[in-house]
């Protein structure tokens, strides 16, 4: 007999600015239990260009200042705007000014991301959390950094994205440990980490699906909305960042964009509630897909 999930066994609602993430009663693109949860799109804006940032995307943002990139971003109808502070050293005054600038230009909720370097992020993410004058999503806390980050997130009334390395048990443990430090489960997003298309996506897909299944079955330490930074993962793949393929692979720019949208749509099917994209024009594609 087919199992039908009860409406009360749903993903936790997390208020993000004018939107609510979560609230799912079944997997996306399915009609069981009248699932009407909204999938949120986020567009990531680079604070600085690092050596790995694709030339294709630099073309869209241009060589202008960070402030100009923020202004360009406002033209795209993302629900959330993400800023990756991919810095190699911390200049407190400069970073505080950047956060204030972002808040003044972008009226929607911000994701304030660290440098993906645990030693830097221990200092950087609490600084960003304290600099923000309105609630933001801080990304991300992980096993080696969450103890440094949680207090500033709680003090500022922010939401914390918690990243674990593609493992359902580690995701649950990190949620519990952060909650024990005073972070409300209603202020947690699960970042299960994942890869782009190919083997990385397949493994990540299965973990997201398992987390969602456990939540629908009543696990209150896994029933937080899921966020995936799929733009970053997609453009790590050689197929999305290199033109050195035969003509049979098609137009490079089209291929790169499709690489990201294909990966994003797959993870939405798996259970992702928020997808963070890199290509500005893919925001409208995903919004149309999940309408």
For residues 178-198, average pLDDT: 90
59-108 tens-digit pLDDT: 888 877 899 999 999 889 999 999 999 999 999 999 999 999 999 999 99
**pLDDT at position 26 over 80:** yes
Lowest mean pLDDT among 20-29, 74-83, 134-143, 154-163: 20-29
Query: For residue 198, what pLDDT band results from cuts at 50, 70 and 90?
Result: low
Contact between residue 240 and residue 196 where contact means Cβ atoms under 8 Å apart: yes
pLDDT at 7: 44
Is pTM beyond 0.85? Reply is: yes
DSSP state of 177: H
pLDDT at 185: 96
Distance CA 66, CA 55 (A): 17
Burial of 2 (0-12, 13-18, 19+ CB in 10 A): exposed
Task: Count Cβ atoms below 10 Å from residue 276 Cβ, excluding itself.
Answer: 29
Q: What's the CATH number of domain 14-289, 1.20.1250.20, 3.40.50.2300, 3.20.20.20, 2.60.120.560? A: 3.20.20.20
User: Structural domain boundaries of the chain?
Assistant: 14-289
pLDDT at 288: 94
Distance CA 142, CA 240 (A): 28
């Amino acid at each position: 007999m087919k199992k039908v999930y009860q409406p009360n066994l749903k993903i936790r609602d997390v208020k993000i600015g004018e939107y609510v993430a979560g609230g799912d009663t079944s997997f996306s693109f399915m009609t069981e239990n009248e699932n009407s949860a909204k999938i949120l799109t986020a567009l990531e804006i680079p604070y600085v260009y690092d050596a790995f940032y694709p030339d294709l995307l630099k073309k869209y943002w241009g060589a202008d200042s960070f402030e100009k990139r923020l202004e360009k971003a406002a033209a795209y109808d993302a629900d959330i705007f993400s800023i990756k502070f991919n810095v190699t050293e911390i200049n407190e005054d400069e970073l505080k000014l950047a956060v204030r600038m972002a808040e003044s230009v972008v009226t929607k909720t911000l994701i304030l991301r660290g440098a993906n370097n645990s030693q830097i992020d221990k200092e950087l993410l609490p600084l960003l959390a304290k600099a923000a004058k309105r609630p933001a999503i801080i990304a991300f806390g992980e096993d080696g950094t969450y103890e440094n980050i949680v207090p500033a997130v709680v003090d500022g009334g922010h939401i914390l994205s918690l990243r674990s390395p593609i493992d359902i048990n580690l995701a649950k443990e990190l949620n519990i440990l952060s909650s024990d430090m005073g972070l409300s489960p209603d202020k947690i997003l699960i970042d299960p980490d994942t890869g782009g298309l190919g083997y990385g996506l397949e493994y990540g897909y299965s973990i997201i699906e398992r987390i969602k299944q456990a939540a629908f079955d009543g696990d209150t330490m896994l029933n937080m909305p899921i966020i995936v930074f799929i733009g970053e993962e997609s453009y790590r793949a050689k197929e999305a960042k290199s033109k050195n393929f035969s003509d049979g692979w098609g137009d490079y720019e089209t291929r790169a964009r499709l690489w990201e949208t294909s990966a994003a749509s797959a993870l939405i099917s798996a259970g992702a509630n928020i997808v963070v994209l890199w290509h500005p024009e893919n925001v409208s594609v995903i919004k149309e897909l999940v309408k």
